Structure 1
C-alpha cells in the first residue's frame, strides 16, 4: 500500500511539472514573412509564460503568452499603425519557429507565413 501511495505521489509531481512546462522564446531572431521577402530582426524577452519584444520592421512590437510550444499574441507597428495577431510554434530544438499571422484580431489567417531562426 505504501508503495502505491508513493508511486501515485511521484507520478502526480511529474504530471504537474510536465503540464506547466512552457517553451522558451527568449532571444534574438531573424524573421521572414510575406513570401519570404521581408526580413526583420526580432528580440523577445520571456518571463514565465509572458513574452514581450520588438522587431525592426516598421517599429514593431509584439506580446503574447506561451502554452506548451506555441506563442500566441498581438503585434503592432508604430510607424504605420498596422496591428494584428500571430501564432508561433517553436521547433523541438528551440532554434526556430513557424508562424502565421493576420491583420486585426479575427478573421482568416494570411497565406503568408512568419517564420524565425534564432541567432
Structure 2
C-alpha cells in the first residue's frame, strides 16, 4: 500500500520536472568550475527563470590574472531538469548543456563552442 501511494505521489508531482513553484527556486548564484584554455578554473554562474519559461543568466570565470564575463540564454524554453543554453563572451559563443539537481542546489554540465567541440566541464553549487 505504501509503495502504491508513493508511486501515485511521484506520478502526480512530476518528480523529474519542476513545478511552477519549484521553478522559481532555480534562480540563484552557483559557484563552481569550468574548463577554459586547458585549465579548470573557478566560475560563478547566475541563473534566472523568465516568466515565459526561458532560463537565462550570466557567468564569470577566472581568466589568467583577471575575470571574463558572459551571458546565457535559452531558446526555445526548455522543460525539466536538463536544459540547453547559449553562452556568449569575448572568446565566442556556443552551447551549455546542464542538468540541475532535483532540489536546484547545483548543476553539472558541459559546454562546447560554435563549432560543436569540445565538450568541456562546467558545474556549480548554490552559493
Query: Normalising to structure 2: TM-score of the pair?
Result: 0.66
**Deviation string, structure 1 residues 3-62 (Cα, Å, up to 9, x no partner):** xxxxxxxx9xx76x7478375431011121117721121222112421121112322100
Task: Sort the Cα spacing of 1:20 and 1:89 in 2 relative to 1 into closer, same or farther, 3 A.
Answer: closer
Aligned residues: 102
Measured on the aligned residues, the alpha-carbon RMSD in Å equals: 2.7
Q: Is the 8 A contact 2:56 2:85 kept in 1?
A: no
- Give the Cα separation in 2 of the matches to 1:115 and 1:45: 16
CA apart distance, 1:81: 3.8
The answer to whether 1:84 aligns with 2:94 is yes
Partner of 1:53: 57
Structure 2: gaps (5+ residues) = 1-7, 62-67
- Give the Cα separation in 1 of the matches to 2:118 and 2:98: 12
Partner of 2:116: 107
**Deviation string, structure 1 residues 65-95 (Cα, Å, up to 9, x no partner):** 3311112110000xx2411001110112221
Partner of 1:21: 19
Secondary structure at the residue paired with 1:37?
Answer: strand
Structure 1: gaps (5+ residues) = 1-10
Q: Is the 8 A contact 2:110 2:122 kept in 1?
A: yes
Partner of 1:33: 34
Partner of 1:118: 126
Q: Is the 8 A contact 2:43 2:59 kept in 1?
A: yes
Partner of 1:66: 78
